[in-house]
Amino acid sequence: MLAVVVALVVATASVATGAGAVWNMTAVGAPLPDTGVVIAVVDTGVEGSHPAFGSRVLPQINIVKGSNGDPNGHGTHVAGTAAGGSINCGDFTGNASAAVGVAPGAKILPVRVLDDDGSGTVSGVAEGIKKAADAGADVINLSLGTDLNGLTGASGALVDAIEYAWDKGSIPVLAAGNGGLVGGLFGSGYGNINAVVVTAVTRQGGVASYATDVGSAKWGIAAPGGAGNGKAADDIVSAYSGNACGLLAGTSMAAPHVSGALAILRARGLSPQQAVERVLSTAKRTSPSRTYGSGILDLGAAVSGIPRKGAGSTTTTTTAAPSVPAPTVTTVPSTTSPPSSTTSSAPSTTTSPTTAPATTAAPTTAPPTTEPSGSTTSSPPTSEVAAADVSLDVDDGGRVSGGLAAAAGLACAAMWLVLGRSAARLRD
């Protein structure tokens, strides 16, 4: 029986060479310290004890069976970009504390819908979205999806859950996907649903080679997702499970920039509709719109003229450190013994739990080498993440129609040929 119906939208992850990992915050005009809002991260869970979050992580909602925490790391990374504080990530941040999150004053609601390998079902994701909305989340980040959206459209259960969340006052934010040329041909497939669909751009502002176009999405926008070249100057650094930092690239990394920006606007009193319209109307216009949507996220422009609650004026950009303390890097061991790792067939999505295991299992892991740099003693393993894993919608009996299976095979082959696979190494 096929059970995997959602897929990771991480393109690559790797060891950084050099500093400059906070380029993405500068690019969008972040961080901004507004408080009083909640960002739900529907993913693999969030490591609530990570120093990037202070005491701002709410109790985790678990849809999949398993312990709290984030044994995968993807959800913690996503949460860090949306609302992480200032952390010292060793070589990733030039051995100094740096802001990694857009909205470091926001609270984080982890909703775990994916298992340790980053796999889950559309029904589980839909349930997680509804629970996040019922819990009062202002923004719901969804750095996950089915890579056949462009061919078949989004699953009805997923669409229903997204519309439910919007009607409850939450703003759903969806990663467009990492379909590469195939994604450029078919687009994200999210159509006219009430969700902001986010594609990824590089540091230079061009669409990333792995990124799926926003296509015909009702509300489309682009944000930094990294180049996927394994350099801190070009990819996205954020928190990672095991009290660590990770360097990743993908539309998974682009979406939380927009989630953080929308949370800031909600904190300043804008309604969900007003916040969405403001983010889209102030984006940096870039063509074609089918690729970039309304353009590239510009938080500085979005908050211009809209003061923080209790403040008389608005600062459009800032490099001030967020409100949570950073871990101190004390030593950099010269060698480490990497943990053993396992492999999984098709990582679908990842979530970040509230507590972290002693070692972390990254999706589709390979025998790792690790380079710890910080106060922790365990390192996340080197992992190999599929650039574009395809997964299938199934009926109640777990069956896949012949036509859909054929389309999946063709799309899968095309994406693997175009994008290949990239080794992922993560640093403490």
Which residues does the annotation mark as catalytic?
A: 43, 74, 252
Half-sphere exposure of 38 (CA within 13 A, CB side): 18
Bridge-based pairing state of the strands 171-175 and 196-201 = parallel
**Bridge partners, residue 264, by sequence:** none
The residue among 20, 45, 35, 19 whose CA lies nearest residue 83 is: 35
Residue type at position 259? S
In 4-143, which residue ranges form alpha helices assigned H by DSSP?
Answer: 23-28, 74-83, 122-134
The residue among 205, 209, 240 whose CA lies nearest residue 223 is: 205
Q: Which stretches of 225-331 are assigned E, i.e. beta strand?
A: 236-240, 244-249
The residue among 240, 223, 9 whose CA lies nearest residue 114 is: 9
Residue 86 parent element (H or E)? strand 86-88
The residue among 179, 198, 227, 199 whose CA lies nearest residue 12 is: 227
- The answer to whether the CB of 253 falls within 8 A of the CB of 200 is yes
CA pair distance 103, 343, nearest whole angstrom: 34
The residue among 328, 314, 276, 272 whose CA lies nearest residue 297 is: 276
Longest CA span, the chain: 61
